[in-house]
Structure 1
Amino acid sequence: MTLVDDRESRGERDGAGSRESDGRKGTGRGGPRAWAAHPLRAEFLRGIAPWTGAALLLVLGVLLACTSRRWQGGWGETAQELHTALVIAVPLAVAAGCWQGGRERRRGTEELWATAGRGPLVRLAASALPVAFWLAVGYLAAAAAAMVATWPYAQGDRPQLASLPAGAVAVGAAALAGHVAGRLVPARPFAPLPALAVYAGLAWAEYASTPWSYLSPSQQLGGTVVPVWWQPVAMAAWTGGLAAAAALVYAARRRYTALLPLAAALWAALLLVQNGPALWVHNTLADRQVCDTSVTPAVCVNARYAGMLPQVTGALSGLTGRLEGVRHLPARWADRPGGPRADEVELPMLTPMGWHQVRGRLVDPQQYAWEALAALQYGDCPDTQDPHRAAVDDAVEHYLAPSPFTDDFDARDARGSAADRAELKARLVARGHLKAMGEAQRRAWLSSYFATTRDCDAKGVPAL
């Protein structure tokens, strides 16, 4: 009986030893059980860290949805909006990091952590990096959602992704710097204060025109520019280097190690400040025109919106059809940076989005055609206030591309003073004369009319 018991006891011990050996193999370095038991797993997957990323995604999602009319449909506008969103994302990251940084002292577990085998820098990284990681993921997720929302409505440009990694680094760096601030001042009411200070600095940089503005991660000159290849690298070195230097000064045993990231940050800042506007170059696609030469004048749109050419041509089809055979017209309507060239008139602007176009569609084709005709009629000529010219211009406008508000203006003048009613009568007479002309006579008259508009000659306008 004793022998059996001894064997059973040895078998149990052998089984236990085998299980312990298997456990050690499963939890070895790099094994799946090692990560399951690692302290960072709880920090990454539980607690405040994942929720900060979700909160940032929600905030940016709401903001982007509320402003979608001005960016959805243009890759440059989408990139600009995501860049501007850093004005909100970075202060929120600072506040979240600051809150996390004061956690241990508020809980009263700071002395317990000090007895751990790890050094202060490792303990700071274990607490700060999960928050920084999830906030960066939240920003990138919002950026990805914005890109997906733009994709169906893009009209000719290409995605601009160069600044997104630098933006994610700026958000993560803000969380790390906020964590250090929270360690220094762990009081709950303190967390919003550095966030407000950062927000004020970023907002100032958006409107200030100083070289220091180019140190802001949210600074951009517009949707028609793209960064030079090294600008995102320098911006990431500037923001990430500052945050890393702050963490090393606070927690590293050898604080002089902070000099390396600090030197990288200062070098990057010097590059950003010295180069200023040269950090951004015009999108080469914005200098190209895509034209429909089957009509006169030809219709040209910026290549960034090449997909909108059929819509624009269709909106102007009534106008170009009535101008067929008319002489002394410019060669084309053009939509190029810096204004039209010789023998061109400016096409009504397709940007900023939300005015003439929303999500790749013209909002009001009739209004668009009327504004295109106004460029033909007046160009850069000053308003002469000549009553004869006003009546003739109104007749041409009413025949070629009437304003959507013409009937409202006529009704208002009919109820107005005697002078208003006299002007209305003169306009109606001029409209009737132009409409009553034969096709050949009207083309000849319109040719004479447009010959005077190019020279801003009010006295030479033919009578009606």
Structure 2
Amino acid sequence: MSTQTLETPPGTAPAPPKPPSAPHPLRTESLRGFAPWAAAALFVALGWGLGTSADQWQGSWGETTGKLAIAAGLIGAPFALAAGAWQGGREHRRRMTELRASAARTPLAQFLTAALPLAAWLMAAYALAVAGALLACAPYASAGGPEPTVFAGTAVALGACVLLGHVIGRAAPWRLTAPALALAAYVLFGLLNASQSDLRYLAFAAVRGYYHDDLHLWWYPLVAALWVAGLAAAAALAHAARRRATALLPLTAALGAAVLLVQTGDGLVHENPLARRQVCNDSTTPRICVNATYPGMLPEVADALSGLTGRLKGVQNLPVRFEDRPGEPREDEAQLPMLTPFGWSAVRAKVTDPEQYTWEAATALVRGDCEKMPSAERTRVADYALVRWLAPRRIDKAMHDQSVASARERGDEKEIALLGAEVKGYEHLRAMPDDERRGWLSAYFATAGDCDPKASEVPAL
């Protein structure tokens, strides 16, 4: 059996190996270009802005969403416009304008190849910041939930800002274009957000109505994104498309969205029905109620006020409850110390200073809505003694001593005598037997609703 060997005919060179295919330009722009570094910078900027204000939004889905939207407007939109402008002026800086004009790809394809990776990277950076903020909020929030349409609309708006900035960067390819555009966008967003007219709803990132006591119409963030995206698409087509008339379609959509936003105005936002509701602890007198937008705070508030409610056990004529809702309390209610905005009295579902919080609750029980201090000495002594006994603070004695020193500097003997009477009244109330003190407290609260009662109506100390 014989074998045959295939040989290359004489004078014929072997075929050269096939060269490896060049990577697609989109892959190159996405992995080796400016886009990944820009996304990292945006993520750090957003993270810093959110991290430094975390006390103000952790614990409320609405506040978290609002902070994310504002961060996207004040940081994200100017950054995206500047990054797009810097990328758009790249060919001019590298003196590659003529080479780009001679390329086989259409101008629109070249434009999208350069702009889309950057837009996608910045949208991903914003999405990562959103995910981090929502994870940070979740352990402390107790009502509501995240709103995906808000984040989706804002991400689209940021991507649109990249395209719009890219067009501006190509039209004005100077090094100062990017920082000037960022500054202009920052100022514009600030002016729109602070405006009292309905034009404020045209801000680059929709920020209205994302707080614990407000809600927005479901389509608002989507229409806000359409306004910015349509404007960017119209600019891109007018700049790079062969048929520039195609820019009229997205421009029409953008203008229609803008008109809808401005005409609807404040109708885009409505009150959160939970803000008018309350959840209550019925085991105390007065009952303790917190707003239904943060029901998880109820055990914390009840614990902070446990000393006050314990001292009022068995007392008559008390308000029915501490209430926590917009507006003035009813005649048989007392105002709960304000828990919002978060970052002051409450941080991450915890009362920051229970001692001060209890003192504020006690003052609400004692003619808390009165604009002026009662004029009668007997009433003022009783009020001081009651608040100090219900909610003693470590600084009470120091503050009283400071008031005495100030009165002595002024030579106000009457004030000095009154301050001394306050301390004596407090010591007398503290030394009373429990039954006698409950009787005095019941008589006192019978007059506590009157801002300036007759001295004879207030029980003496």
Partner of 1:413: 403
Partner of 1:168: 155
Partner of 1:64: 50
Does 2:299 correspond to 1:310? yes
Q: 2:340 is matched by which residue type in structure 1?
A: T
Q: 2:373 is matched by which residue type in structure 1?
A: T
Match for 1:379 among 340, 346, 368? 368
Take 1:428 and 1:256, find their aligned partners in 2: how far apart are those partners? 83
Runs (5+) with no aligned partner, structure 1: 28-32
Match for 1:275 among 264, 267, 289? 264
Deviation at 1:88, TM superposition (A): 1.3
Q: How does 1:379-458 map to 2 (within 5 A)?
A: 379-386=368-375, 387-416=377-406, 417=408, 418-458=413-453
Alpha-carbon distance change, 75 to 15 in structure 1, aligned in 2, over 3 angstroms: farther
Does 2:145 correspond to 1:158? yes
Q: How does 1:75-154 map to 2 (within 5 A)?
A: 75-85=61-71, 86-154=73-141
Take 2:331 and 2:265, find their aligned partners in 1: how far apart are those partners? 32
Partner of 1:369: 358
Take 2:151 and 2:403, find their aligned partners in 1: how far apart are those partners? 55
Take 1:196 and 1:441, find their aligned partners in 2: how far apart are those partners? 69
Deviation at 1:226, TM superposition (A): 2.4
Does 2:215 correspond to 1:220? no
Question: What secondary structure is seen at the aligned counterpart in 1 of 2:447?
Answer: helix
Take 2:92 and 2:426, find their aligned partners in 1: how far apart are those partners? 82
The answer to whether the 8 A contact 1:242-1:265 is kept is yes
Q: 1:79 is matched by which residue type in structure 2?
A: T
| TM-superposition CA deviations, 1:52-86 (whole Å, max 9, x none) | 11110011111111111111222111111001102
Take 1:141 and 1:362, find their aligned partners in 2: how far apart are those partners? 30
Deviation at 1:438, TM superposition (A): 2.6
The answer to whether the 8 A contact 1:413-1:420 is kept is no
- Work out the percentage of aligned pairs sharing the same amino acid: 48
Q: Which moved more, 1:186-195 or 1:439-448?
A: 439-448
Q: Which moved more, 1:242-251 or 1:221-230?
A: 221-230
Take 1:419 and 1:341, find their aligned partners in 2: how far apart are those partners? 36
Deviation at 1:264, TM superposition (A): 0.7
Partner of 2:8: 9
TM-score (norm 1): 0.91
Deviation at 1:155, TM superposition (A): 3.1
Deviation at 1:396, TM superposition (A): 0.5
Question: What secondary structure is seen at the aligned counterpart in 2 of 1:415?
Answer: helix
Take 2:97 and 2:328, find their aligned partners in 1: how far apart are those partners? 64
Partner of 1:187: 174
The answer to whether the 8 A contact 1:330-1:343 is kept is yes
Deviation at 1:106, TM superposition (A): 1.3
Take 2:344 and 2:175, find their aligned partners in 1: how far apart are those partners? 44
Partner of 2:348: 359
Take 1:393 and 1:15, find their aligned partners in 2: how far apart are those partners? 106
Take 1:218 and 1:63, find their aligned partners in 2: how far apart are those partners? 18
Alpha-carbon distance change, 359 to 43 in structure 1, aligned in 2, over 3 angstroms: same
Question: What secondary structure is seen at the aligned counterpart in 1 of 2:289?
Answer: strand
The answer to whether the 8 A contact 2:280-2:298 is kept is yes
Greater percentage in helix: 1
Deviation at 1:145, TM superposition (A): 0.9
Question: What secondary structure is seen at the aligned counterpart in 1 of 2:338?
Answer: coil
Partner of 1:49: 35
Alpha-carbon distance change, 206 to 403 in structure 1, aligned in 2, over 3 angstroms: farther
Q: 1:78 is matched by which residue type in structure 2?
A: T
Partner of 1:284: 273
Question: What secondary structure is seen at the aligned counterpart in 2 of 1:178?
Answer: helix
Q: 2:370 is matched by which residue type in structure 1?
A: C
Q: Which moved more, 1:372-381 or 1:433-442?
A: 433-442
Deviation at 1:294, TM superposition (A): 0.6
Partner of 2:460: 463
Q: Which moved more, 1:220-229 or 1:143-152?
A: 220-229
Q: 1:220 is matched by which residue type in structure 2?
A: R
The answer to whether the 8 A contact 1:334-1:340 is kept is yes
Runs (4+) of structure 1 exceeding 6 A deviation are 13-17
Take 1:135 and 1:82, find their aligned partners in 2: how far apart are those partners? 15
Question: What secondary structure is seen at the aligned counterpart in 2 of 1:333?
Answer: strand
| TM-superposition CA deviations, 1:301-352 (whole Å, max 9, x none) | 1122212211111111111111112122111111123343452221111111
Match for 1:234 among 214, 223, 238? 223
| TM-superposition CA deviations, 1:367-404 (whole Å, max 9, x none) | 11111111111232221342332211111011111244
Question: What secondary structure is seen at the aligned counterpart in 2 of 1:291?
Answer: strand
Q: Which moved more, 1:95-104 or 1:70-79?
A: 70-79
Deviation at 1:15, TM superposition (A): 10
The answer to whether the 8 A contact 1:202-1:218 is kept is no
The answer to whether the 8 A contact 2:288-2:323 is kept is yes
Structural RMSD (CA): 2.3
| TM-superposition CA deviations, 1:275-297 (whole Å, max 9, x none) | 11111222333332111001111
Q: 1:437 is matched by which residue type in structure 2?
A: M
Alpha-carbon distance change, 404 to 14 in structure 1, aligned in 2, over 3 angstroms: farther
Question: What secondary structure is seen at the aligned counterpart in 2 of 1:281?
Answer: strand
Q: 1:394 is matched by which residue type in structure 2?
A: Y
The answer to whether the 8 A contact 1:80-1:223 is kept is no
Alpha-carbon distance change, 9 to 339 in structure 1, aligned in 2, over 3 angstroms: farther
Q: 1:408 is matched by which residue type in structure 2?
A: A
Q: 1:55 is matched by which residue type in structure 2?
A: A
The answer to whether the 8 A contact 1:384-1:458 is kept is no
Q: Which moved more, 1:220-229 or 1:443-452?
A: 220-229
Deviation at 1:425, TM superposition (A): 1.2
Take 1:247 and 1:200, find their aligned partners in 2: how far apart are those partners? 24
The answer to whether the 8 A contact 2:206-2:221 is kept is no
TM-score (norm 2): 0.91
Q: 1:166 is matched by which residue type in structure 2?
A: G
Does 2:235 correspond to 1:246? yes
Take 2:392 and 2:262, find their aligned partners in 1: how far apart are those partners? 51
The answer to whether the 8 A contact 2:86-2:175 is kept is yes
